[in-house]
Amino acid sequence: ICVVFLCSGSRSSKTFKPKKNIPEGSHQYELLKHAEATLGSGNLRQAVMLPEGEDLNEWIAVNTVDFFNQINMLYGTITEFCTETSCSVMSAGPRYEYHWADGTNIKKPIKCSAPKYIDYLMTWVQDQLDDETLFPSKIGVPFPKNFMSVAKTILKRLFRVYAHIYHQHFDSVMQLQEEAHLNTSFKHFIFFVQEFNLIDRRELAPLQDLIEKLGSKDR
């Protein structure tokens, strides 16, 4: 087992954590609308590119919030299948197991069930997104110098939720007829992190075959 330590109404509308909203009328809201419009064109490689004249940090911030909301919703659809019993460890197949630490509340990595781990992870991400000093929503407020490294850590950890869903719950996803939604969301996520080199290749290893398949289909 490769143990990776972390250091530092309707079913479709059900989310695991509350949705993170970007304030309407803000520049980030306009960017989100631009992202949604270009996604509609079907060309994902083009849709993830930095729009001309825009700030890279702001583009990464808006998309990180969007991926948090997407994963939140996707995991929300399968929470009844991801239990302390069925998923007593947070894993992505037999070779990858994740232990949780956030560097503040839990400093020493702990082994825990997948639902507990994902709860820790999504709560931690939510706290980062709600922190105005890290993710400023007001125009003219600069992003902190460590923004890129925080965003990379968030995206690296969000990837692990996709990896767990694909490895441990894909049958349930198919049963719920959510696989097209999951595949599109993951493809968008991967093209985005590849475009800006945001996740180390080694971290993507649990889904490497799928990533190659998605990439080759797009060529």
Structure confidence by residue, pLDDT tens digits, 185-196: 999 999 999 999
Number of domains in the chain: 1
Q: How many residues does the chain have?
A: 219
Residues making up the annotated binding site are 82, 87, 164, 169
Residue 76 lies in a domain: yes
Does the pTM surpass 0.85? The reply is yes
Residue 18 lies in a domain: no
Confidence (pLDDT) at 41: 61
Distance, CA of 129 to CA of 210 (rounded, Å): 29
The band of 14, judged by pLDDT with boundaries at 50, 70 and 90, is: low
Give the CATH number, domain containing residue 168.
1.20.140.30
Residue 27 lies in a domain: no
Structure confidence by residue, pLDDT tens digits, 164-218: 999 999 999 999 999 999 999 999 999 999 999 999 999 999 999 999 998 876 6
Confidence (pLDDT) at 39: 67
Residues making up the annotated binding site for Zn(2+) are 82, 87, 164, 169
| Weakest mean pLDDT among 33-42, 77-86, 197-206, 208-217 | 33-42
The mean pLDDT of 1-12, rounded to a whole number, is: 38
The mean pLDDT of 11-27, rounded to a whole number, is: 65
